[in-house]
Amino acid sequence: MDRLRDKPIEFIFPVFCLIIILSACISTAELPRFFQPPKSDGTLSFLVVGDWGRRGSYNQSQVALQMGKTGKKLNVDFVISTGDNFYDDGIISPYDSQFQDSFTKIYTASSLQKPWYSVLGNHDYRGNVHAQLSPILRALDCRWICLRSYVVNAEIVDIFFVDTTPFVDKYFDEPKDHVYDWRGVIPRNKYLNNLLMDVDVALQESVAKWKIVVGHHTIKSAGHHGITIELEKQLLPILEANEVDLYINGHDHCLEHISSINSGIQFMTSGGGSKAWKGDRNEWDPQEMMFYYDGQGFMSVFTSEAELRVVFYDGYGRVLHRWITSGKRLYSDV
C-alpha cells in the first residue's frame, strides 16, 4: 500500500489538456492520432528520453535538470519517452505513487510542462498496462499521453509510435519470474499482424516532409540488447519501404547513432534517462557506427522544411554528437 498515493496531485494546464485529449481521433489506418501544431515559423523541436523512472535515482534527477535547461534554450514543443517509464515493474494502478515520484516530481522545469508522448517498454508491461494507458493519469498530470501505438501529426513531420514489446518472443516463451500484462495483446499473432498493417498504411498515407518512428526496442544497436531480431524481420522492411528518416528507441541504456548502409534510415538510441550500463558495448561496423556513449543523457530533435537536426547531450547538458540532414547527410560530428 505504500506505493499508493493518499490523494491526487493537482491538475496541470487543464485547458491545454482538454485540447490535447479531444484532438485524438481514429485514422483510416486505425491508429489514434494527435495533432501537434508547429511554431508560427513552421519549425518544431522536442526532447527524447528513455528508461528513466527510478524515483530520481541513478542520476535521473540530474538528467531531468539538464533537460529543463536545454528545453528552455530550444523552446521545445513536447517531449518523447521511449519507454521503460517506471522501474522495475511498471505501476500497479493509476494512483501508484511511482507516477508522481518518478515523473511529476522529477520533470518540474517550466520548459518540460509540455505534452509527453510515451510508449510502453518491457518493464512497463510487467506492471498494470491499463494503468499507464488510463485517462486518469492524464487527469492527474495532463502532460502524460501514452497509448500502445499512435501517430502525432505535426505538419512537416509525422511521428509514429509503435508498441514493440509484444514482438519479442522471449517475453512469451521465457518470461522467467516476470509476469507480463498481455491484456489487449492476445491473440498475439492477430495483434501484431493488425499493428504492422496499420503502421504500413499510416506511413503510406503520410505526406509529411519527415517521417519518424518511435519504439522502445532496438532494431540496430551495439549496446547490451543488440539487434531485436523480431523487429528486424517484421518492422524494418516496412520502415525501409516507406522511406522513414529516423527510428528512435530506448531499451539499451546508452546514447547511440547508427547510420544504415542499406537505407536512408538513421537509428537513434536514447535510453540514458537514469541507470546506464558503462562499458557494455559490442563491436559494430565502423561504416555505420556514428556515435556511442555509455552514460546518462538525452537527445533533441529539430525539424523545419529544410532540415532535420539531432543532438545528443550527456547528463551535464554537454553536446556529445550532432547530426543534420536535408534529405542527404550534411554532417555528423562530436
Per-residue pLDDT of the chain (334 residues; tens, 9 = 90+): 444 444 443 433 443 443 444 344 333 448 999 999 999 999 999 999 999 999 999 999 999 999 999 999 999 999 999 999 999 999 999 999 999 999 999 999 999 999 999 999 999 999 999 999 999 999 999 999 999 999 999 999 999 999 999 999 999 999 999 999 999 999 999 999 999 999 999 999 999 999 999 999 999 999 999 999 999 999 999 999 999 999 999 999 999 999 999 899 999 999 999 999 899 899 999 999 999 999 999 999 999 999 999 999 999 999 999 999 986 554 566 5
282 is known to lie in a ligand binding site? no
Residue closest to 298 by CA, chosen among 318, 278, 270: 270
249 is known to lie in a ligand binding site? no
pTM beyond 0.85: the answer is yes
Output the pLDDT for position 327: 60
Residue 225 annotated as catalytic: yes
Q: Report which residue type is found at 297.
A: G
75 is known to lie in a ligand binding site? no
Q: Report which residue type is found at 67.
A: M
Which among 217, 225, 257, 321 is annotated as catalytic? 225
Output the pLDDT for position 135: 97
Exposure string over 284-294, b if 16+ CB within 10 A, otherwise e: beeeebbbbbb
313 is known to lie in a ligand binding site? no
141 is known to lie in a ligand binding site? no
Q: Report which residue type is found at 233.
A: K
Q: Report the phi/psi class of residue 151: left, alpha or beta, with left for phi > 0 and alpha for psi in -120 to 50.
A: beta
Output the pLDDT for position 324: 96
Answer yes or no: are the C-beta atoms of 158 and 152 closer than 8 Å: yes
CB count within 10 Å of CB 148 equals 20
321 is known to lie in a ligand binding site? no
Rounded CA-CA distance 265/249 in Å is 13
278 alpha-carbon distance from chain centroid = 22
